[in-house]
């Protein structure tokens, strides 16, 4: 069995016919579950982080089995704010602001993308905005520290921020 790292998050693996038979794989190749387990083992050996969904493709032929595995980057939560005031309220309500959040403006709305590890912030932001399937391809406003900048430069309207809006 040989494998080659072909990118930061990808490997190519080749099992000879003999190696495939030793592992009990049929001529048609391993099933999806077995391919995934094998790919995860090899990815760990190649020191590729398993921090996202795994895609595996297998190509069996007479010489053996060629397997490609790709760890997709973790998905960034994205929130859509209908207006700037909603974004300002959210920035002032969060107890801790993320450092690697990015803000984009598209189609008259604000799209805020968070790093995958910001689960608490994502939970809190769901009170102020809708989740989006992905980020917008609009005009980037801030590539990092977006909520910190909004909180620093914009105060919420007095009537829109009640004392119970701060989330702890």
Residue 131 phi, psi (nearest 5): -80, 145
pLDDT at 99: 92
Q: Which domain holds residue 37?
A: 2-71
Stated pTM of the model: 0.59
Same domain, 31 and 53: yes
Same domain? For 34 and 65 the reply is yes
* 53-79: average pLDDT: 90
> Which helix H or strand E contains 110, and what residues bound it?
strand 109-113
Among the ranges given (35-39, 76-80, 109-113, 136-140), the one the predictor scored with the smallest mean pLDDT: 136-140
**Per-residue b/e over 135-166, b at no fewer than 16 CB within 10 Å?**
bbeeeeeeeebbbbbbbeeeebeeeebeeeee
Give the span between the Cα atoms of 65 and 59, in whole angstroms: 6
- pLDDT tens, residue by residue, 79-138: 999 999 999 999 999 989 999 999 999 989 999 999 988 988 998 998 899 988 766 678
How many folded domains does the chain comprise? Answer: 2
């Amino acid at each position: 069995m040989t494998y080659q790292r072909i990118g930061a998050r990808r490997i190519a693996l080749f099992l000879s016919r003999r190696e495939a038979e030793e592992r009990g794989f049929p001529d048609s190749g391993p099933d999806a579950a077995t391919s995934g387990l094998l790919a995860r083992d090899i990815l760990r050996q190649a020191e590729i982080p398993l921090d996202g969904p795994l895609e595996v493709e297998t190509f069996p032929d007479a010489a053996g089995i060629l397997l490609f595995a790709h760890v997709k980057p973790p998905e960034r939560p994205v929130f859509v704010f209908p207006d700037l005031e909603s974004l300002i309220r959210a920035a002032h309500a969060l107890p801790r602001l993320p450092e690697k959040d990015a803000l984009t403006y598209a189609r008259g709305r604000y799209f805020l993308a968070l790093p995958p590890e910001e689960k608490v912030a994502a939970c809190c932001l769901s009170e102020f905005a809708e989740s989006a399937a992905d980020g917008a391809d609009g005009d980037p406003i801030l590539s990092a520290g977006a909520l910190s900048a909004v909180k620093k430069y914009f105060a919420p309207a007095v009537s829109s921020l009640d004392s119970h809006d701060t989330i702890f």
